[in-house]
Amino acid sequence: MLFKTTQQHEELRAKVRNFAEEKVKPLTFLLDKENEFPAEAVAELGKMGLLGIPYPKEWGGLGLDIISYAIAVEELSRIDGGTGVILSAHTSLGTWPIFAFGTEAQKKKYLIPLCKGEKLGAFGLTEPNAGSDAGGTETTAVDKGDYYLLNGGKIFITNAPKADTYVVFAVTTPDIGTHGISAFIVEKGWKGFEFGDHYDKMGIRSSSTAELIFNDVKVPKENLLGKEGDGFKIAMATLDGGRIGIASQALGIAQGAFEQAVDYAKERVQFGKPIGFQQAISFKLSDMATKLRCARLLIYSAAEMKENHEPYGMESAMAKQYASDIALEVTNDALQIFGGTGYLKGMEVERMYRDAKITTIYEGTNEIQRVVIASHILGKPPKKTGGADRRMQKPAPITGVRKKVLFREGDSKEQVQALAEALKKDGFDFTVGIPMDTPIARAERVVSAGKGIGDKKNMKLIENLARAAGAAVGSSRPVAETLKYVPLNRYVGMSGQKFTGNLYIACGISGATQHLKGIKDASIIVAINKNANAPIFKNCDYGIVGDVNEILPLLAEALGTAEKQPAPPMVKMKRPQMPRPEPIGPRYVCSGCGYEYVPELGDEESEIAPGTLFQNLPEDWVCPECAEPKDQFIEA
Amino acid sequence: MYCVRNVTEDLYWVGANDHRLALFENAYPIPRGVTYNSYLLLDEKTVMFDTVDWSACRQLVENAQHVLNGRPLDYLVINHLEPDHAASIDEILLRWPDVTLISNEKAFMLMRQFGFHVDSHKIIEVNEGDTFSFGKHTVTFVFAPMVHWPEVMVTFDTTNGVLFSADAFGTFGTLDGKLFADEVNFDRDWLDDARRYLTNIVGKYGPHIQLLLKKAGGILDQIKYICPLHGPVWRKDLMYFIQKYDIWSRYEPEEKGILVVYASMYGNTESAAQALAARLCDKGMTNVALYDVSSTNVSQLISETFKYSHLVLASVTYNLGIYPAMHNYLLDMKALNVQKRTVAIVENGSWACKSGDLMQKFLTEEMKDMTVLNERVSMASALGEDKEVELDTLVDAILDSMNEKK
C-alpha cells in the first residue's frame, strides 16, 4: 500500500481549497475582528453539498468517505479555523448521531435537510458541572406522557445560536449516573428554548458559540434519539468520530501557518540570504513538516478505520491529541519565524496562533484523550478501596424525606391555588390559627422570612400571610441578627429556635444548612423563593419558584383572610421514617471464624466486586479471614 | 476436700467454683463468680467430659480421684478448647497417661497450638454425627461451630438423654453447693447473669446459635439434662431457657420496655434523661431501666440492650464527637450484632452539638435494622423549660413506636 490519498480525494481537496481561498480568505480578518459568523460562506458550502460529505446520497449526502470529510475540514481550517469547526461540529456532532441512532422518521425529518445543507446542526452535552465527566449532567427531561419536559442548560455549544437542529443530552433517570442520560433532537424556536450570549472567544471567532437555555421545553416523544438511557453511549460514540474533525481542524490550522512561514522564510533576507536558509530556521521548518505529516497520517488512518467499521476510538483519540498538540507547536514556530511581524494584528499567523489553542481543549481535552488511550492500553482501573466507603451513597437531604412537589403549571395564581389545595388535602384547617407571637418551639405553624424578603416594609407581607395561615412569625438568622426585622428569639435554626410543628412556610429563605437543621422535624415545609436552585427546594414538600412580593399576597388570599378561630391543641402530623436501603441479598457467616460476607461490600482482596451475591461467588472462593470453603458458611 | 455431686445415674459433676476471678476472659466483671463444670461418667469405661480452668485444676483432680475411686480414666472428651475448660488437659494426661482423647480435627489443632502434649497419647478424631459407645452409654457428637469458637461440639448421651452443651446454656455465677437450675430461683437470681454471659460472649454468633437450636430441635424430646460448662445443670423446664436462647440469638427483644443510657459530664444530660424517664412512666410505660454509661460496665449495658425493645441514647458532645464511653458502648453493640431496636436520641452540646447526628449515623450506617426516631431532643448545655415541648414530643414518639410494634 502507498499511504496515499486517491485522485478523487485530491480533486475534492482542490475544490474546497479553491472555495476557501476565494470565498473565505478575503473575509477572515473581519470575521475574526468582529466575532462574525460567515453565514454566506456556510450557505454556499451547503449548496456545494459539503455539509453532508460522509453521508449516503439517499439521505441527501455526497456519499463520500470519512477521509474526504477530514480533507474538507482541513482545507477550510487551512484558511480559517473557525469556518473549519463549523463544518466539523455540524457534520460529526450535529448530524452523525441522527444518522447513526435516528429512526427512519427522524432521519427523514432531520437528517436530509442537515445533509443537504438546508439546516445547520449542533450538539449539546457540556454543562457547568458536566464537562469531561458527563455523569454530572443536570439538565433533566421528565416523561410527561406525550412529551418530555426539558429543563436546564448547556454551555460552550458550537454553532449555537446559528444551528437549527440540536442533539441535546439530559437526565431521564436521576441518581444512576451516566446510565440515566438520554439524547433528544431539539429544534430552534421551540417554546422555552433560548440562547445565552455569543461568547467572546480568544480564537476561532468566526465560529459561533453560545449557551443553550431550556425552560420547560416540551420535546415530543418521537424526538427521543435512541432509547432512554442510551444518551451516554450515543455521546461517547459521537465524540469518537468528532475527534477526527477536530484533529483535521488542528491539522489545517497548522498547515496554513506552516505554509505562511515557508513563504516568509523564503522572502525575508538577513545576513545576506533568505532566513529559510539559515540552519536555525530550516530545522524549524523540517520539524514542522515532519509533525504535519505524522498528524495527517494519524488522522487519515483513523478516518479510514472508521470508514471500514473497525474499532477506531483509540486511534481517533491519538489523532486528535497529537494533531492539536503539534498545532500549538507549529503555529508557535510559524509566528517565531515571522518575528515581530507575526505579532501584529491582521497577520494570519497571529490569528492561527490563537485559533490553534482551542483544539487541545474541546471535544475532549487532550488530557481526556490520553485517558481514552490509556484505557485502551490498560483496561479498567482497579476498584476503589475501603470498607463502608465502598458502598455507593447519596447524601440524604438535611430535612429527610420530603415530597419536593414544585407547582410550576399555569400562572402564579394557579400555582398558589394548587399549593393551598395540597395543604388542605394534607389536613390543614385554615379557619383556625395560633397567635402570631406563639413561641416557635410551641407553634403548630410558622411563616418565616428570609433575606429574600427584601425591604423591611415587606415584613407586612409575612405578617399578613401568617395571619391568613393561622401561623406564628419566624425568620432566618440574618433577618433577626443583621437586619433586625424581628427579635432574636424568633429566628429558626440549629442555633436558634427549632420548629417541630406541622407547617413551615419559608419565604425568601434560601436554606442554609443551619436553618434546615432547625426545621427538619417540621411535618410539611413550603418554600417560596425566586431562585429555583436554592437548597430549600431540595428540602421542601411544596414549592413555588417566584417573587415573594407576588406570591405571598396571593397565598394569603388563597388561605383566607377572615378572622381565625383559636386552634385546638396541636396534633403532630407524623413524619415518614427515612427509608432504609433494602439489602440486595442475605449475608452469610463463616463457621470457621464468624466473618460475615456482605454482598453490598463484596470481598476486595479476592477481587469480588461490591454487589456480588453470596450464591454468585466462585466455587473456589474461600473465607478471606480463615480460608474455610464456601460450604462452611451459613445464612445470617 | 473433694466436692462432687451426682447428676444422674453414673454421671457426676466434678467441676469447681471460682470466687476469686475478677474479670471473666479478663474482660467481664463477675461479682457472683463463675463455675467451671466438668463431668465424669462411670460406665464400663470411665469418661471425663471437658476439664476446668488451671486455677481450679487441683479441685478437679481431687474430685475425679474420689469419683474414680481407684479406677483408671479411660477417655477424655473435649467439646471446647477455650482455656477456662481446657487448661487442665495436660495435667489429666500426666496423671492418667493411658487416657484416650476424643475430640475433632480443629480442636486437636488448637490443643497443639496451646502446647498440650496430645500426640504422645491415643487420640480419636470424631466427625459430626459420629457415635461412640463406652459400654452402656452411647454418645453422638454434634458440631456447633462458632458457639462461640470454631471447634466447638456438643456431645449427646443417647442412653440417658444428657446433653453436654459446652458454653451454650452457661452462665456467670457460682453454684456453691447447688447444682440444678431447679435448686435456685433462676429467673430471679440468675437470668440477668445468664443473659449477660450469652449476649457478650456469643452475641455476635446468633445465626450459629440458631443452627445449633435447629439441630437440637430434632432430638428435643430425648434431651433430659443439659450440662453446660458454666452454671447450673438443667433437668426441669428446659424450654424456659431454650426459648430465651432462641429470642436472644434472633436479636428479638425479650421485653417491651425502654432502656435509657446517658452520658453526662456534669449532670445536665442526666437530668434530661431522668425527666424523660419520669414522663414515660407518667404516661404508663413503667418498664424503664436507666443507666449512666460512665459508671455501668458495658457488658451490663449490652445485656440490657438485648433485653429491651426500645433504647434511648442521651449523650453530650465531646471533642466534637460522641462521649467516649457512649461511643465505646455503640462499638460494642455493633460488634455483638445488636439489631432490630428502635432508638430515640437526646443530644447535648454547649457550643457545637454533634453527638446526635453522629450517633444516628452510627446506628443507621454501621448497625443492622436499627430504627432511629425522627424526633430528637437537642439541648445546649442544659434542658431549659422551653424545650419541654421537644421532650414531650419525643416521649410521645417513643410511646407511639411501641404501640406500632406487635
Domains and CATH numbers, chain A: 121-234 (2.40.110.10), 405-566 (3.40.50.1220), 588-635 (2.20.28.10)
Is the domain of B156 the same as that of B224? yes
Q: Does A138 touch chain B (CB under 8 A)?
A: no
Most B CBs within 10 A among A394, A572, A575, A587, hence the mutation to make, goes to A572
A439 chain-B contacts, CB cut-off 8 A: 386
Question: What are the distances in angstroms from CA A371 to CA A248, A319, A363?
Answer: 21, 14, 13
Closest alpha carbon within chain B to A588: B207
Q: Is the pLDDT of residue A393 over 80?
A: no
Is the domain of B264 the same as that of B205? no
The active-site residue out of A74, A211, A363, A444 is: A363
How is residue A624 written as a grid cell? 478471606
B211 chain-A contacts, CB cut-off 8 A: 634
- Between strands A542-545 and A405-406, the pairing is parallel
Most B CBs within 10 A among A438, A498, A571, A626, hence the mutation to make, goes to A498
Q: Do A591 and B146 touch (CB under 8 A)?
A: yes
Q: Give the separation between CA A474 and CA B131, rounded to whole angstroms.
A: 78
Report the CATH number that the domain containing residue B114 is assigned in CATH: 3.60.15.10
- With a CB cutoff of 8 Å and minimum separation 6, the contacts of B17 are B33, B34, B35, B174, B175, B176
Is the domain of B45 the same as that of B143? yes
The reported pLDDT for the residue numbered B210 is 96
* 3-class state of residue B242 by DSSP: helix
**Residue A352 contacts residue A257 (beta carbons within 8 Å):** yes
Q: Give the separation between CA B367 and CA B203, rounded to whole angstroms.
A: 14
Min Cα separation A439/chain B (Å): 9
Q: Give the separation between CA A247 and CA A243, rounded to whole angstroms.
A: 6
**Residue B121 contacts residue B112 (beta carbons within 8 Å):** no
Each residue's pLDDT, cut to its tens digit, for chain B (406 residues) gives 999 999 999 999 999 999 999 999 999 999 999 999 999 999 999 999 999 999 999 999 999 999 999 999 999 999 999 999 999 999 999 999 999 999 999 999 999 999 999 999 999 999 999 999 999 999 999 999 999 999 999 999 999 999 999 999 999 999 999 999 999 999 999 999 999 999 999 999 999 999 999 999 888 899 999 999 999 999 999 999 999 999 999 999 999 999 999 999 999 999 999 999 999 999 999 999 999 999 999 999 999 999 999 999 999 999 999 999 999 999 999 999 999 999 999 999 998 889 999 999 999 999 999 999 988 898 989 998 878 888 998 999 999 999 875 4
Bond from prior residue into A54 cis (ω within 30 degrees of 0): no
* 3-class state of residue A115 by DSSP: helix
Helix axes A313-338, A366-378, angle to 10 degrees: 140
* Residue B284: other Cβ atoms inside 10 A: 7
A472-499 pLDDT tens trace: 999 998 899 889 999 999 999 987 899 9
The reported pLDDT for the residue numbered A510 is 86
Which of A572, A580, A594 is facing B393, going by the closest CB pair? A572
Q: Does A570 touch chain B (CB under 8 A)?
A: no
Report the CATH number that the domain containing residue B312 is assigned in CATH: 3.40.50.360
**Residue A552 contacts residue A461 (beta carbons within 8 Å):** yes
Min Cα separation B40/chain A (Å): 29
**Residue A180 contacts residue A172 (beta carbons within 8 Å):** yes
Half-sphere exposure of A265 (CA within 13 A, CB side): 22
User: Based on C-alpha coordinates, what's the Rg of chain A?
Assistant: 31
Q: Do B150 and A592 touch (CB under 8 A)?
A: yes
Section A71-95 average pLDDT: 97
**Owning domain of residue B357:** 258-404
Which of A500, A590, A593 is facing B390, going by the closest CB pair? A500
Q: Is the pLDDT of residue A385 over 70?
A: no
Nearest alpha-carbon partner for B285 in B258, B255, B313, B312: B258
Q: Do A594 and B393 touch (CB under 8 A)?
A: no
Most B CBs within 10 A among A499, A500, A625, A635, hence the mutation to make, goes to A500
Rounded to two decimals, what is the model's pTM?
0.60
The reported pLDDT for the residue numbered A389 is 42
* Residue B20: other Cβ atoms inside 10 A: 8
Closest alpha carbon within chain B to A628: B150
A316-325 pLDDT tens trace: 999 999 999 9
A563 belongs to the catalytic site: no
Is the domain of B94 the same as that of B214? yes
CA pseudo-torsion sign A395, A397, A403, A405: negative
What amino acid is encoded at A104 in this protein? Answer: E
How is residue B42 written as a grid cell? 462411670
Separate counts of helices (H) and strands (E) for chain A:
18, 21
pLDDT above 90 covers what percent of chain A?
Answer: 77
Chain B: residues touching A (Cβ < 8 Å): 145-146, 150, 204-208, 211, 353, 364-366, 369, 371, 374-376, 378, 386-387, 389-390, 393, 396
Q: Do A572 and B353 touch (CB under 8 A)?
A: no
Question: What are the distances in angstroms from CA B273 to CA B268, B313, B326?
Answer: 9, 9, 14
- Between strands A588-590 and A596-597, the pairing is antiparallel
Q: Do A589 and B386 touch (CB under 8 A)?
A: no
- Between strands A209-220 and A193-195, the pairing is antiparallel
B375 chain-A contacts, CB cut-off 8 A: 500, 521
Closest alpha carbon within chain B to A391: B365
Domain count, chain B: 2
The reported pLDDT for the residue numbered A578 is 66
Q: Do A500 and B204 touch (CB under 8 A)?
A: no
The reported pLDDT for the residue numbered A390 is 43
B65-94 pLDDT tens trace: 999 999 999 999 999 999 999 999 999 999
Closest alpha carbon within chain A to B372: A577
- Interface A–B counts its CB contacts (< 8 A) at 57
Where a domain ends, among B249, B272, B301? B249
Is the domain of B284 the same as that of B202? no
The reported pLDDT for the residue numbered A386 is 45
Q: Give the separation between CA B9 and CA B114, rounded to whole angstroms.
A: 34
Q: Is the pLDDT of residue A226 over 90?
A: yes
The reported pLDDT for the residue numbered A538 is 87
- Give ipTM to 2 decimals: 0.84
The reported pLDDT for the residue numbered A474 is 95
Is the domain of B100 the same as that of B140? yes
Task: Please state whether A369 falls in left (phi above 0), alpha (psi between -120 and 50) or beta.
Answer: alpha
Closest alpha carbon within chain A to B396: A572
Which of A500, A520, A634 is facing B208, going by the closest CB pair? A634
Where a domain ends, among B186, B218, B249? B249
Is the domain of B188 the same as that of B306? no
The reported pLDDT for the residue numbered A1 is 67
A388 chain-B contacts, CB cut-off 8 A: 365-366
Question: What are the distances in angstroms from CA A287 to CA A79, A81, A274, A283, A354?
Answer: 21, 22, 18, 6, 21
* A428-442, A519-533, A538-552, B182-196: range with highest mean pLDDT: B182-196
Q: Does A424 touch chain B (CB under 8 A)?
A: no
Half-sphere exposure of A49 (CA within 13 A, CB side): 14
Length of chain A: 636
Q: Give the separation between CA A455 and CA A461, rounded to whole angstroms.
A: 11
Min mean pLDDT across A143-147, A398-402, B182-186, B306-310 is at A398-402
Q: Do B353 and A494 touch (CB under 8 A)?
A: yes
Q: Do A388 and B366 touch (CB under 8 A)?
A: yes
B348 chain-A contacts, CB cut-off 8 A: none
Q: What are phi and psi of A444, to 5 degrees?
A: -80, -35
Min mean pLDDT across A538-542, A557-561, A594-598, A605-609 is at A605-609
**Residue A328 contacts residue A360 (beta carbons within 8 Å):** yes
Is the domain of B200 the same as that of B65? yes
**Residue A96 contacts residue A90 (beta carbons within 8 Å):** no
Which of B150, B366, B396 is facing A593, going by the closest CB pair? B150
Q: Does A396 touch chain B (CB under 8 A)?
A: no
Is the domain of B221 the same as that of B320? no
Closest alpha carbon within chain B to A399: B374
B352 vs A49 pLDDT, higher one: A49
Q: Give the separation between CA B242 and CA B181, rounded to whole angstroms.
A: 13
Is the domain of B128 the same as that of B202? yes
Nearest alpha-carbon partner for B103 in B90, B84, B122, B120: B122
For the CA atoms of A151, A157, A162, A165, what is the dihedral angle to 10 degrees? -60
β-pair partners for B226: B163, B234
Q: Do B207 and A589 touch (CB under 8 A)?
A: yes
* H or E element that contains B322: strand B321-322
Q: Is the pLDDT of residue A387 over 50?
A: no
Write the burial class of residue A286 (CB in 10 Å: 0-12 exposed, 13-18 middle, 19+ buried).
Answer: exposed
A283-333 pLDDT tens trace: 999 999 999 999 999 999 999 999 999 999 999 999 999 999 999 999 999
A402 chain-B contacts, CB cut-off 8 A: none
Half-sphere exposure of A599 (CA within 13 A, CB side): 16
Q: Is the pLDDT of residue A535 over 60?
A: yes
Where a domain ends, among B249, B275, B299? B249
Q: Fill in the DSSP letter of residue A278.
A: S
The reported pLDDT for the residue numbered B376 is 87
**Residue A193 contacts residue A148 (beta carbons within 8 Å):** no
The reported pLDDT for the residue numbered A376 is 92
Is the domain of B319 the same as that of B398? yes
Closest alpha carbon within chain A to B385: A441
B21-57 pLDDT tens trace: 999 999 999 999 999 999 999 999 999 999 999 999 9
Min Cα separation A404/chain B (Å): 19
A441 chain-B contacts, CB cut-off 8 A: 386-387, 389-390
Is the domain of B281 the same as that of B245? no
Residue matched to cell numbers 405553624: A445
How is residue B32 written as a grid cell? 457472683
Which residues of A, range 514-533, sit inside 8 Å of B by Cβ?
520-521
Band the pLDDT of A579: cuts 50, 70, 90.
low
